[in-house]
């Protein structure tokens, strides 16, 4: 359901940065199978356990060619990252999605770099 939501609301995802944890990699496979175009997937060791400073470091190293990037990781790090980058609180439960839009280059990622455009937790009706 998360993959379908992303396909409908976000569109093309250029790159997926995934935690090395088994559950995250399983989620990644399920999500990317629902996307219209298969993105490149990279396992990023710093996404586990996912301290906010480590997540920022991963973001700052993203290639300029990646316009839309999906992080598949863990809490509380992802919630903290959303708050740090956007200044907005966002509760992220299992399979929750936060869509941030940044203004600038990846190497500039830091506090206030983005706005929280959308948040969702896709569930069966």
- Token representation of residue 104: 């600038």
The answer for residues whose C-beta is within 8 angstroms of residue 46's C-beta and 6 or more apart is 54, 55, 57, 58
Q: Is pLDDT above 90 for 103?
A: no
Q: Is pLDDT above 90 for 99?
A: yes
How many Å apart are CA 118 and CA 23, to the nearest integer? Answer: 24
Domain at 1-120, CATH from 3.40.50.1240, 3.40.50.1110, 3.40.640.10, 3.40.50.300: 3.40.50.1240
Q: 72 pairs with which residues across the strands?
A: 18
Chain segment 27-83, per-residue pLDDT in tens: 999 999 999 999 999 999 999 999 999 999 999 999 999 999 999 999 999 999 999
The answer for residues whose C-beta is within 8 angstroms of residue 119's C-beta and 6 or more apart is 90, 92, 96, 97, 98, 99
DSSP string, 56-81: HHHHHT--TT-SSEEEE--TTHHHHH
Instruction: Kindly list the domain boundaries of the chain, sorted by start residue.
Output: 1-120
Q: What number of residues does the chain have?
A: 125
pLDDT of residue 56: 98
pLDDT of residue 23: 97
Question: What pTM did the predictor assign?
Answer: 0.96
From the CA atom positions of the chain, what is the Rg in Å? 13
Least confident of 21-25, 76-80, 116-120, 121-125: 121-125
């Amino acid at each position: 359901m998360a993959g379908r939501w992303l396909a409908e609301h976000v569109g093309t995802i250029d790159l997926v940065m995934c935690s090395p944890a088994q559950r995250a990699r399983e989620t990644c496979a399920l999500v990317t199978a629902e996307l219209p175009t298969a993105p490149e997937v990279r396992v990023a060791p710093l996404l586990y356990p996912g301290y906010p400073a480590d997540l920022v470091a991963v973001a700052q190293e993203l290639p300029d060619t990646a316009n839309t990037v999906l992080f598949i990781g863990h809490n509380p790090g992802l919630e903290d990252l959303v708050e740090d980058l956007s200044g907005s609180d966002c509760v992220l439960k299992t399979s929750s999605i936060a869509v941030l839009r940044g203004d600038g280059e990846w190497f500039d990622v830091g506090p206030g770099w983005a706005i929280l455009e959308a948040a969702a937790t896709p569930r069966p009706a």
